[in-house]
Structure 1
Amino acid sequence: MRTCSRTSILLTLSLALTGLSLTAVPATAVAPPPPAQVAAPDGATPIPAVQGPLASTAESYPFGAANHQEVPQDLSKLGYVEEEYLVSGTSNVYTWPTAGPAQIRTADAPYTTRVLVRKPAKGQKFSGNVVVEMLNPSNLFDLNIGWAVAQEQILANGDAWVGITAKPIAVEALKNFDPERYASLSFANPLPLTDPRNCAAVAADSSRTTENGLIWDIYSQVGAWLKSNDSTNPLRYGSPATRVEHAYGFGYSQTGGFLVNYINGVHPLVVESDGKPVYDAYIVAVAGGAFAGAYPMNQCEPAPPANDVRRQFKDVGVPIMRIMSQSDYLRGIGSRRADSDVPGDQYRHYEMAGAGHATPGELTFSASSADIIAAGRAVPPASCNEGPRSRFPSSIFFNAALRNLDRWVREGIAPPRAEPILVRDGAAVLDKSGNVQGGLRSPFLDAPTSTWYGTATGASFCFIAGYERPLPQDAIDGLYRTHGAYVKAVKDSARTLERQTFLTDYDARRLIREAAQSDIP
């Protein structure tokens, strides 16, 4: 695993502004993608047909492109490039009536989706890791949440990040945004409207002419593509073989629930057909139990019930981290299970004390407000009735989690264990500052200056946005007699958590630096 100056990465990240220049093979989405995916031996996961990288110009660029985010980033200043591809193939539609692997409901449905790739510009800087995310469609367009919450570790380690458009409703937004670029995208329902298996009623964000259940094989095939020696693989860096050593699956909220379906229902099928999994480990974020803990395997059948065994992980064969937030851990409390280091059942369950589910970062590092409107969608509110979305930096937990997951896979170093948030009689147990006890800790709660709430009121996803209430001045004065006492409290917390590997070294340094620069008390 490559190491580098994380401080320089973070300083450069903070200065990265507009002006990303991409070099791409001239292409448009009007031309049809290659007609057939690459056949795989012995029934293994096939490689999708690929078109791209698509040209990026002032008039036509990827939705959610780094230099067109709400706060633009110039990836070239970070030593990274961004490319967009269209991938095509056929996907089975599955049914999942009982625990165990899913079963084929409709075979070989054609699809075309898009894939956004961010990678080190130079192959020698590539770590060999790729984080593959099903882009979150909960706001009816693609959100780059994995990039938002873990980009510091991705950049510091030289990882690649890949986002996949995962749902027809997001495809609709892409076509609104750029009808020419995204003309060929399709999640078409393989069943005609006259077929009784094409159910008469679907969810409000779905359509009978499309099929949500195409994503499962798409996710396998994109991962297989990135691990393949196919000439179209953007992570070969011109070499005869792929440079990918490990692929890590990531999903957040709705797509975290998608990962539950994939891990328990489809991952076993891939292991059976390929002899090994496509994904070497998973981070299932803010999805578990009765909160986004599983989804319908196809749009005509219900999701597994809240207490169903299909929502829990057991003996998957690769490491899994499930990370809940203060917004969702109570509704998702059924996802709790004992941590394990047993080979084949490696598991960690974490609950982020103080952290909100719907963060400012997921808006900051996704498409700009103007592009969201161009896609025919409403811009999610950055504030709720109680004030702005919680500024609590959940990224400190995801940075450490991704680093620890990689060490688990590569070196067999087991991640630290953390107690869940303390619950009594169905409610959190609070400390004298009004903050939850237990869970993943940080100086924000161990050296508090605010009370952190996981839920707010207001429009859209305010109910899981959370907010902050500064402590009264007399309370702060009672906690810290001097500024030095506050800085010491933060430093003691951060250094302890760094030693335990709950914080990265660069996040620990940043939190200490911010405390030193503050005017507290």
Structure 2
Amino acid sequence: MRRVIRARDSLSGQRRVLPGVRCLGVISSLVAVGLVASACSSSDTTGTTSASSSAEAPSRPVGPAATFQELAGGKGVNMGSPVSVNLQGTGYVEQEYAASGTATSYKAQGGYADDGRWTFTPDSTAAYSTRVLVRRPAAAKDFNGTVVVEWLNVSSGVDSDVEWWNTHEEIMRQGDIWVGVSAQRIGVMGGPALTPSAAGSVTPGLKGTDPARYGSLNQPGDGYAFDIFTQVARTIRAGATATGGLTPRRLLAAGESQSAYAMVTYLNGVQPLTHEFDGFLVHSRGAGAMALAAPGQPASIQGANATPATIIRTDTDVPVIDVQTEGDLTVILNSVQARQPDTNRFRLWEVAGASHADTHSVGPFASALNCAVAINNSPTHIVVKAALHALDAWARTGTPPPTAPRIDVTTGATPQVVRDADGIARGGIRTPPVAVPVDVLSGTPDPNPSSICVLFGSTTPLPATRLAALYPSRDAYLQKYNAATDATIKAGFALTADRPALIAYAQPSRIL
């Protein structure tokens, strides 16, 4: 059921996953990953012109906004993720809403050019009502003015808050508001799963899983998802009750894997019309983008992969950071085909030794994957947190993030990652476990992976003889590892606050 929202300061911060959805949520979040699935003051006093509000930036047109009504009853908040974050005691609260209105779909005039300069025009309209989840500081004084709006991932048919899980420590350290939008049809309405790993399965969606809470929702098709995303953002920007009365200064859009496909489509076709967001975090995109779907239809991942390779348009009016793992470059997603140079509005960060998904993505459920080799254990999420921090600063002050070296790849029609004698990728952002290795971290899985394990890369221990040659003692190893950690932080690819988390990846016990 729904009730009209009333201002209140707190809700239970405990995220709940419905019985029977936990296991699917595990596959969802990991698979959600692709084919399967310093603190600012509230006054925000800065003397630097924001990149998104500079004189040359187009004005933001007025348009329809979503109407929010609070959701209650049923089994509580449903989010299909393998690892939950208990908000109790964090100073954050969680509230859930039905966002409703009339959305417009788009047509791509002239198709999807590989330079990303697409022209979208309005097509049909349809009524919608979808789910929006808000996590925000309970106290107004703790809000820093930034809202991160995540396009929830539905690769396996279940909504998953992948970017929240990657970045929640940084979001809460800074006092951001996080908003998760159930933009796509299958997460709300259910239906046949659209990814190879879940082929043949049918998911119930929010409506079927908990009709008492979500029965009134209706997502009319993924062609409307982009305008739904825009209309939710307009409501949030206006400082609705959903934000606890807090008025945002910046809205940053974020999406990982399948949702990153959607971010590329939004940037290339919708942002030029709406100018609604002040920055974009694109995480683990494929070479193509999410194609516009017909009314009543979901957007197919296979369709997204079939879309010709396209870059993010270079005339975007807001900053964009694109974080890609080594595995994204050549393993199925082939994002190397959409590589593009950095500009004054774009940064590409490629993380060596990282896979599309890893142990952090699935937490204690890594063994449930039954992959033939140990899955990747790269600290990619620490780089993603640094990217979010840098994007916020870029949008707020105009200060661009550092440029990152590209991962070395071979030339030719099918580029491959260039590796050193140990099998570790050359170039790219080199986190301490890659710069000072005891394992070969790779985005490449075992030779005959299952459809899900193909995205999880591998972790292969270096032989004891090799470790002895690299490190004469544990002290020598730790000295090198600590120096690599400090270098990563100094370069801007990890945050000082995450130094302990990076140090925790060290394995001195492996040195005999």
Q: Same fold (TM over 0.5)?
A: yes
1:93 correspondence with 2:144:
no
CA contact (8 A) 1:249 1:283 kept: yes
Distance 2:174 2:121 in 1: 38
| Cα shift at 1:361 | 3.7
Q: Which residue of 2 aligns with 1:321?
A: 321
1:219 correspondence with 2:229:
yes
CA contact (8 A) 1:325 1:351 kept: yes
The residue type paired with residue 267 of structure 1 is: Q
Q: Match for 1:279 among 274, 277, 283?
A: 277
Distance 1:60 1:111 in 2: 23
1:196-233 deviations in whole A, cap 9, x for unaligned?
Answer: xxxxxxxxxxxxxxx21111101111111111044x3x
Q: Match for 1:134 among 151, 160, 163?
A: 151
1:54-112 deviations in whole A, cap 9, x for unaligned?
Answer: 236xx5211118xxx54443202221111110000111111114243211221x21011
| Cα shift at 1:334 | 2.1
- Unaligned runs of at least 5 residues, structure 1: 1-18, 23-41, 189-210, 271-276, 370-379
| Cα shift at 1:263 | 0.8
SS in structure 1 at match of 2:154: coil
| Cα shift at 1:500 | 1.4
Q: Which residue of 1 aligns with 2:290?
A: 295
Distance 2:323 2:109 in 1: 27
| Cα shift at 1:432 | 2.6
Distance 1:48 1:332 in 2: 34
| Cα shift at 1:509 | 3.3
Q: Match for 1:161 among 151, 171, 178?
A: 178
Distance 1:177 1:459, change over 3 A: farther
Distance 1:433 1:308, change over 3 A: closer
SS in structure 2 at match of 1:90: strand
Q: Which residue of 1 aligns with 2:219?
A: 187
Distance 2:82 2:419 in 1: 36
Distance 1:519 1:446 in 2: 16
SS in structure 1 at match of 2:102: strand
Distance 1:303 1:146, change over 3 A: closer
CA contact (8 A) 1:450 1:470 kept: yes
Distance 1:406 1:186, change over 3 A: same
1:257 correspondence with 2:261:
yes
Distance 2:127 2:509 in 1: 56
**Residues 299-308 or 398-407, more deviating:** 299-308
Q: Which residue of 2 aligns with 1:423?
A: 409
Distance 1:483 1:335, change over 3 A: same
| Cα shift at 1:398 | 0.5
SS in structure 2 at match of 1:223: helix
Q: Match for 2:210 among 161, 164, 178?
A: 178
1:26-46 deviations in whole A, cap 9, x for unaligned?
Answer: xxxxxxxxxxxxxxxx97222
TM-score (normalised: structure 1): 0.76
- Percentage of identical aligned residues: 32
Distance 1:443 1:161, change over 3 A: same
The residue type paired with residue 412 of structure 1 is: G
CA contact (8 A) 1:420 1:439 kept: yes
Distance 2:177 2:76 in 1: 20
The residue type paired with residue 500 of structure 1 is: A
1:63 correspondence with 2:58:
no
Q: Match for 1:148 among 134, 140, 165?
A: 165
1:418-447 deviations in whole A, cap 9, x for unaligned?
Answer: 111101242211123211011111111110
CA contact (8 A) 2:14 2:85 kept: no
Q: Write the mapping of 1:4-403 to structure 2, written as runs, cut at 5 A.
A: 20=13, 44-52=62-70, 54-55=71-72, 60-64=75-79, 70-98=82-110, 99-106=117-124, 108-171=125-188, 172=190, 173-188=205-220, 211-230=221-240, 232=241, 234-235=242-243, 237-238=244-245, 242-270=246-274, 277-289=275-287, 293-299=288-294, 306-307=307-308, 309=310, 311-330=311-330, 331-341=334-344, 346-364=345-363, 382-403=368-389
| Cα shift at 1:137 | 0.6
The residue type paired with residue 132 of structure 2 is: V
CA contact (8 A) 1:117 1:162 kept: yes
RMSD: 2.6
Q: Write the mapping of 1:359-508 to structure 2, written as runs, cut at 5 A.
A: 359-364=358-363, 382-425=368-411, 426-456=415-445, 457-508=448-499
**Residues 405-414 or 479-488, more deviating:** 405-414
CA contact (8 A) 1:351 1:421 kept: yes
Report how many residues are paired.
423
CA contact (8 A) 2:477 2:508 kept: no
1:150-177 deviations in whole A, cap 9, x for unaligned?
Answer: 1121111111111111221111221222
Distance 1:304 1:502, change over 3 A: closer
| Cα shift at 1:316 | 0.6
SS in structure 1 at match of 2:356: coil
CA contact (8 A) 2:149 2:252 kept: yes
CA contact (8 A) 2:438 2:507 kept: no
| Cα shift at 1:518 | 4.6
SS in structure 1 at match of 2:178: strand
Distance 2:150 2:120 in 1: 21
Distance 1:434 1:510 in 2: 25
Distance 1:125 1:454 in 2: 38
Distance 1:352 1:226 in 2: 32
| Cα shift at 1:511 | 2.3
Distance 1:514 1:439, change over 3 A: closer
CA contact (8 A) 2:309 2:337 kept: no
Distance 1:265 1:21, change over 3 A: closer
CA contact (8 A) 2:65 2:232 kept: yes
| Cα shift at 1:384 | 4.2
Distance 2:253 2:61 in 1: 22
| Cα shift at 1:303 | 5.5
Distance 2:418 2:380 in 1: 21
The residue type paired with residue 184 of structure 1 is: S
